[in-house]
Structure 1
């Protein structure tokens, strides 16, 4: 990853004016929860996007599903609002014509994977899809720091084909089974994985969940409690590009087919 002097982009207000406010200072490396220092000055009223560092991955484009970690905090008092780093669950933003705020579009589209981007904005313009406006007023200023994990086509690994099928002879007590070998980086415990998957009930084999049907790839952190326990055993040690059938026994047995698209080691 290469670092450079931050580039700042202003978003025009409805009256056509731009206004520069004080700038927070962000420290920490890509992939780790950022440390944000809020200055004493005014934040200004115009949304500002600052590219803090540039990654060397594929550049995100309109139509992508963008996966990113995001830390959100209030300007006033530097109070945490929400953070995907704490939840071990990166956010998924689908840019397929659905309603996504312009501030998030400019923060996430057009940047290479591995980039860190900061957004300073009034809350009314700062929050993205599925982020509720809770405990703050629309005029309160928020500071968002995005780590862009990557952008992927919604049908990545499927490309028009039918959904992957659970092997007919597999039961919930069987070990994981490699359906397609991978040749990319090895998946390690604690890493983030970018996957497509299908989940089916047992013994009916009815598909009850699928990343394909929900819009595209998802990102998960391979830590206990963040993913089903069966995923940890099945995915650690595999290589990017593999397809794995993963049985999961328990009170409600599930059968998964998981395509590993990418992996990102935690900082």
Structure 2
């Protein structure tokens, strides 16, 4: 990660500093796709970070995998560029020193879960040194709105439990199986879940995907099109702290073993 920019960043409150008299206005509650109004005038060349609302959860710390929804749009014409709200899968931001920009670190680290933060920045600094700018020039200004779901250690797991293992007697045609009963909050229909998981092919039981290999916990919204269909019924109604084996039939039959680390429901 490059460290050239901290001295250039301005940290402002939601009603505080602006540059050249311009500040986008963001409406909508945390957890919903923000509505962004871009003012007239020039945005300036200095990255600006604005805390729009402060959450009450655990603060993210260096080394965390930060899970956040993010909406990115161009300043010019207020044109959408990318939004995780559309795909219903929050971003997993792994601060491993490679592709995460310093502006994202300033925006996301040290913030309580439940916070909404806005970053206004030239694209070259907002997207990081090694991220391709599809359809953008480095000087184009972007407006990014983050909803911080939480920060989790890369090796986060169920307390006192070993890593998940695929049961030897489970087949893709079997119903979901609860391997460990959790005692935390119940997973509501359509909510977001924070999980660690492994996915094994059938019949070899070879692990073909794993959140541990990807860098740490991931967040998903339990709705059609956002997760494998078998997950929705298998995880809804479970409690945080549960481990669930979820067979999934398809062109490539898989067996998932999923640890539920957290759940996030927005009123």
TM more than 0.5 = yes
State the alpha-carbon separation in 2 of the partners of residues 181 and 19 from structure 1.
50
State the alpha-carbon separation in 2 of the partners of residues 132 and 149 from structure 1.
26
Shift of 1:183: 1.0
Structure 2 unmatched ranges of 5 or more: 10-16
Residues 202, 254 of structure 1: 8 Å contact kept: yes
Match of 2:52 in 1: 52
State the alpha-carbon separation in 2 of the partners of residues 221 and 207 from structure 1.
23
> What TM-score results when the alignment is normalised by the length of structure 1?
0.90
Match of 1:20 in 2: 19
Residues 190, 223 of structure 1: 8 Å contact kept: yes
Structure 1 stretches of 4+ moved >6 Å: 158-161
Match of 2:13 in 1: none
Match of 1:181 in 2: 181
State the alpha-carbon separation in 1 of the partners of residues 189 and 204 from structure 2.
32
State the alpha-carbon separation in 1 of the partners of residues 215 and 153 from structure 2.
9
Alignment of 1:230-249 (within 5 A): 230-249=230-249
* 1:140-165 deviation line (CA, Å, top 9, x unaligned): 10000000000000010168976311
Alignment of 1:166-245 (within 5 A): 166-245=166-245
Residues 12, 46 of structure 1: 8 Å contact kept: no
Residues 182, 238 of structure 2: 8 Å contact kept: yes
Shift of 1:11: 5.0
> What TM-score results when the alignment is normalised by the length of structure 2?
0.90
Match of 1:6 in 2: none
Residues 195, 262 of structure 1: 8 Å contact kept: yes
Shift of 1:187: 0.7
Q: Does 1:138 align with 2:138?
A: yes
Shift of 1:19: 8.0
Structure 1 unmatched ranges of 5 or more: 1-9
State the alpha-carbon separation in 2 of the partners of residues 229 and 131 from structure 1.
31
Match of 2:42 in 1: 42
Say how many residue pairs are matched. 255
Residues 179, 244 of structure 2: 8 Å contact kept: yes
State the alpha-carbon separation in 2 of the partners of residues 229 and 155 from structure 1.
26
1:74–1:137 Cα change, 3 Å: same
SS of the equivalent of 2:212 reads: coil
Residues 65, 92 of structure 1: 8 Å contact kept: yes
State the alpha-carbon separation in 2 of the partners of residues 131 and 144 from structure 1.
15
1:96–1:136 Cα change, 3 Å: closer
